[in-house]
């Protein structure tokens, strides 16, 4: 088993290392509320034993976990949902309506991801995706509330990164659990100017214009902090919004300036240069090698997602 690593945050929130790819890439969150618990994002199947070990360590009974809420069905966020649901008898899965069928029958999700990663890498990273009984699945609606004794969670429809993406607003912490819609930023990549965030424009449902609207929608909650899946708690999130908008515009401009031929390769090169320059301007002194370890998989996803989005535009 992987090592259980976690960080206790204020407001009864714990950030749990998912061990997706390597340390510090992805996390998930446990929220405790007067005897009831919620998990937001799940990591992969390999994360499940760690979450169960943490519950045991905290003397939290399996029955106390009421909801499991993957922000969307990308596998670093929802890959372990089936395993967790099998372990936690009282839990209900709360999911975006566009993601629900993939949680009930994950065969398409598994086939799609196997095609992307290859069978060996898929098995190593994700193990297997377990189906979830439809009677235990709640499809969220925009504005829906989950009442947990002394804590109310609001569910927000937040498309852009993917159509099946939701965000959780937690009144108690004045925090948003943003999955991938408020960008990703690694704890190590920071400077006196703060953290360095970037929007990860993953395939296959990317929609940059809609993503802009989502960022503005999230700011209407006046969040004091966001809880990123990649990675950890970030204070004063509004100061990062302008840069996220700027990055999305820059990506779109790069994509639209390229011919379809070799577009993916050229995008990857341009996006890498773009972030290397920005990260230097941000004042981060992280060695390039370490930066690349953290960010290289995201850069590939960015280029793939933008290329596929452009192909969709060209078809319609």
Q: Given the rule CB under 5 A, which residues bind Zn ion?
A: 74, 180, 202
Q: Is residue 168 within 8 Å of 156, Cβ to Cβ?
A: yes
Nearer to Zn ion, 66 or 74 (CB): 74
Q: How far is the CB of 85 from Zn ion (least distance, A)?
A: 20
Q: How far is the CB of 202 from Zn ion (least distance, A)?
A: 5
Q: How far is the CB of 304 from Zn ion (least distance, A)?
A: 12
- Per-residue 3-state assignment (H helix, E strand, C coil) for the chain: CCCCCEEEECCCEEEEECCCCCCCCCEEEEEEECCEEEEECCCCCCCHHHHHHHHHHCCCCHHHEEEEECCCCCHHHHCCHHHHHHHCCCCEEEECHHHHHHHHCCHHHHHHHHHHHCHHHHHHHHCCCCCCCHHHEEECCCCCEEEECCEEEEEEECCCCCCCCEEEEECCCCEEEEECCCCECCCCCEECCEECCECCCCCCCCCHHHHHHHHHHHHCCCCCEEEECCCEEEECCHHHHHHHHHHHHHHHHHHHCCCCCCHHHHHHHHHHHHHHHHHHHHCCCCCHHHHHHHHHHHHHHHHHHHHHHHHHHHHC
Q: How far is the CB of 261 from Zn ion (least distance, A)?
A: 28
Nearer to Zn ion, 58 or 312 (CB): 312
Nearer to Zn ion, 26 or 39 (CB): 26
Nearer to Zn ion, 66 or 161 (CB): 161
Q: How far is the CB of 165 from Zn ion (least distance, A)?
A: 7
Both tokens assigned to 264: 């993916």
CA distance 227 to 239: 15
Residue nearest to Zn ion (CB): 74
CA distance 71 to 180: 8
250: nearest Cα among 232, 289, 223, 277: 277
Nearer to Zn ion, 170 or 180 (CB): 180
Q: How far is the CB of 162 from Zn ion (least distance, A)?
A: 6
Nearer to Zn ion, 60 or 116 (CB): 116
Q: How far is the CB of 77 from Zn ion (least distance, A)?
A: 6
Nearer to Zn ion, 99 or 148 (CB): 99
Q: How far is the CB of 180 from Zn ion (least distance, A)?
A: 4
Nearer to Zn ion, 46 or 164 (CB): 164
């Amino acid at each position: 088993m992987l090592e259980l690593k976690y960080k206790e945050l204020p407001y009864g929130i714990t950030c749990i290392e998912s061990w997706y790819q390597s340390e510090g890439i992805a996390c998930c969150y446990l929220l405790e509320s007067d005897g009831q618990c919620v998990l937001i994002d799940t990591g992969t199947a390999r994360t499940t034993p760690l979450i169960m070990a943490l519950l045991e360590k905290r003397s939290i009974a399996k029955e106390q976990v009421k909801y499991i809420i993957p922000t969307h069905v990308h596998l670093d966020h929802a890959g372990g949902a089936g395993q967790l649901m099998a372990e936690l008898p009282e839990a209900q899965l709360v999911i975006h309506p566009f993601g629900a069928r993939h949680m009930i029958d994950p065969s398409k999700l598994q086939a799609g991801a196997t095609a992307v990663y290859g069978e060996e890498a898929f098995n190593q990273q994700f193990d297997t995706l377990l189906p979830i009984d439809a009677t235990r699945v709640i499809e969220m609606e925009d504005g829906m509330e989950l009442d947990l004794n002394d804590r109310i969670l609001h569910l927000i429809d937040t498309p852009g990164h993917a159509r099946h993406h939701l965000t959780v607003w937690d009144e108690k912490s004045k925090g948003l659990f943003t999955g991938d819609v408020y960008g990703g930023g690694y704890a190590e990549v920071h400077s006196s100017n703060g953290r360095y965030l970037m929007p990860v424009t993953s395939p296959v449902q990317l929609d940059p214009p809609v993503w802009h609207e989502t960022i503005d929608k999230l700011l209407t909650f006046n969040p004091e902090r966001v809880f990123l899946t990649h990675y950890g708690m970030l204070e004063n999130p509004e100061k990062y919004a302008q840069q996220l908008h700027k990055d999305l515009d820059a990506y779109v401009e790069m994509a639209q300036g390229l011919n379809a031929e070799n577009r993916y390769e050229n995008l990857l090169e341009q996006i890498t240069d773009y972030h290397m320059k920005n990260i230097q301007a941000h004042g981060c002194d992280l060695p390039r090698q370490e930066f690349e370890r953290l960010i290289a998989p995201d850069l590939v996803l960015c280029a793939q997602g933008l290329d596929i989005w452009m192909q969709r535009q060209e078809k319609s």
